[in-house]
Amino acid sequence: MIRLYSIPPSLYSAKVRIVLRAKQYDWEDIPPPGGYGSEAYREIVPSGTLPAIDHGGFVLVDSEAINEYLNELAPGPRMWPEDIVERARARALSRFHDTRLEPSVRALFSHVDPARRDEEFVAAQAGIIAERLEQLARMVTPAPLIAGERLSLADCGYPITFTFLDMLNGPMGLNIEFPDSIAVYFSALQREPNVAAELDSYRPALAAWVEATIGSSDEV
């Protein structure tokens, strides 16, 4: 049994759960003892970050490292392309999500509440996100997913970030449109069974977070 330390709206925890589903592992979600960032949690996970897994006493953090570990732990299904060039390209696209696209969306989180929103910052950030999506459209030719017909590790962050963006687009007045190829890719991701199963439970958690944040007087 694999323990996954997570909280409901955690994007990167959802990314790991997609792989757990795809690899058909038994796992349980565990909230961080004492809450996210607590001293009790840091006794288990020194960095205090989410997600983290505990597999028989082996504790590992960082969604990319976790997913690599989960992929190698069981032989199938393989979640990287076999060809070395295609595998390198898929890894680069996975890193593009984690280091370029997702951070540009995450920067909006502290502006979800209208009472705390800097409209000038939000407009500028929307421009950056639109640019990142255009870059992605030039970098990838989904067929229908990043590495072909089968789900790969490179795909697993995108449906969650796209869902975040889709949900924030209207309430925050971002006016961001997905490039045509990326909209088609997002549709294909949502039809993939393991992604669809994760989004079925993740969307309500995300919607609850957005609703609570809009009406909250606390920092995000």
Encode the chain (220 residues) as per-residue pLDDT tens digits. 999 999 999 999 999 999 999 999 999 999 999 988 899 999 999 999 999 999 999 999 999 999 999 999 998 899 999 999 999 999 999 999 999 999 999 999 999 999 999 999 999 999 999 999 999 999 999 999 999 999 999 999 999 999 999 999 999 999 999 999 999 999 999 999 999 999 999 999 999 988 888 765 333 2
What pLDDT does residue 219 have? 30
What pLDDT does residue 215 have? 60
Tokens of 107: 């920067």
For CA atoms 202, 69, 65, 6, give the dihedral sign: positive
Please report, as a single letter, which amino acid is at residue 20: L
d(C-alpha 117, C-alpha 3), whole Å:
36
CA distances from 129 to 124, 136, 142, 176 (A): 9, 11, 20, 8
Provide the whole-model pTM: 0.94
Strands 27-30 and 2-5: parallel
89, 83 contact by CB (below 8 A): no
What pLDDT does residue 212 have? 86
Contact partners, residue 178, CB within 8 Å, separation at least 6: 133, 162, 186
Give the gyration radius of the chain's Cα atoms: 17
Tokens of 200: 């079925």
What order of strands is seen across the sheet that includes strand 58-61?
27-30, 2-5, 52-55, 58-61
What single-letter DSSP state applies at residue 83? S
What pLDDT does residue 213 have? 83
